[in-house]
Structure 1
């Protein structure tokens, strides 16, 4: 089972093409400036079986990719691996994964290696607010973009340095911010709404 904080079906704010996103609940890092602090605690949110979550994320037939964020996806690597495999059994998909861990910190972890084998692009490293350069899908300039397969190499420039995108979805009277928002938008939204960003909500402070 996967402990799910939130999902979004059909967005263009978190990677190339039309994508669906899952944010998992729980993160071992505590970033200054995290835009999704409610997703940091390891508490019960919504439990979903991998196959059921795959079906939910593929409800839109035009979705061509999945983005995994949180929270910390590597804290639920086993369940997410099963979910991605179930989704790919239904259609061809690209997969982007955010993690606060550096890739080297995941070496030797069987669960993490299994998930990485299903990932096309890994964006790794803690979020450092002082190094937020307002560019690309990274939360801050210290984070690295690893092209693990050739599936999304054509989008390398967009991922690293393209303009940031964000969408606001309203659900049950609350606003969900989808994307890695421009700094000005993040500052305003963080004061008044519920957030669901990627990159900025997946990491703790580091300096390199």
Structure 2
């Protein structure tokens, strides 16, 4: 089964507890203003298969402490997402966290949500005008829903205010020379980073959607 993938990386430490496998799917029609990952919006023809992706992920899944799937909008590829989740379940007993810009009521009947394939779901569209004070959330309107006992055990205590130590980003280097930052930056962080680098003669192009 084909799937449109933006990127995958290990380890990621800024999108959930522990050293996690991060998977970003490509394509999103929600397109929230201020989204930090506008590069994942464009729909592309599938560039790999779920089985090929699982082969790539397998070594990481054997040593990771969790899996985080984001995008893009993962639920815009429902069948590939379900197959990917089932494959991950066969390869690791660690938790699976999924980010979605859809509202919780839109997702409650989805088989990925109802079948125990996802341990924790963070839903709702990002709102750039809403305060950002909650751990793992881009804006405080977003909801964390624990869907399994494992999800409740790991993420139940993480429904809290963000701390200074939570405000971090992972740096990822692509084979094509592109440098990626993974995580949930505080408001204005990317603009400040861009300004600091430009003062030192380095140009930074961000993928944050303009307001």
* Alpha-carbon contact 1:102-1:125 (below 8 Å) kept: yes
**Structure 2 runs not aligned, ≥5 long:** 196-203
Aligned-pair CA distance for 1:184: 4.0
Deviations 1:88-107 (A, max 9, x none): 21221211011111121124
**Structure 1 runs not aligned, ≥5 long:** none
SS of structure 1 residue aligned to 2:112: helix
Deviations 1:44-90 (A, max 9, x none): 3x522222212322323311321110000000121121112112212
Counterpart position of 1:161: 161
* Alpha-carbon contact 2:108-2:114 (below 8 Å) kept: no
Query: Are positions 1:49 and 2:49 aligned together?
Result: yes
Counterpart position of 2:173: 170
Relative to structure 1, is the Cα distance of residues 63 and 14 closer, same or farther in structure 2, using a 3 angstrom cutoff?
same
Counterpart position of 1:62: 63
* Alpha-carbon contact 1:55-1:87 (below 8 Å) kept: no
| Aligned residues between the structures | 194
Counterpart position of 2:112: 114
Relative to structure 1, is the Cα distance of residues 190 and 30 closer, same or farther in structure 2, using a 3 angstrom cutoff?
farther
Spell out the pairing of 1:127-142 with structure 2 (5 A cutoff): 127-142=126-141
* Alpha-carbon contact 2:54-2:88 (below 8 Å) kept: yes
TM-score (norm 2): 0.81
Deviations 1:3-31 (A, max 9, x none): 00111122111111221111111111121
Structure with bigger strand share is 1
Counterpart position of 2:199: none
Whole-Å separation in 1 of the counterparts to 2:81 and 2:184: 21
SS of structure 2 residue aligned to 1:183: coil
Aligned-pair CA distance for 1:134: 4.3
Relative to structure 1, is the Cα distance of residues 151 and 189 closer, same or farther in structure 2, using a 3 angstrom cutoff?
farther
SS of structure 1 residue aligned to 2:167: coil
Whole-Å separation in 2 of the counterparts to 1:168 and 1:183: 18
Whole-Å separation in 1 of the counterparts to 2:172 and 2:80: 26
> What do you get for the CA RMSD once the two structures are aligned?
2.4
* Alpha-carbon contact 1:35-1:190 (below 8 Å) kept: no
Query: Are positions 1:180 and 2:179 aligned together?
Result: no
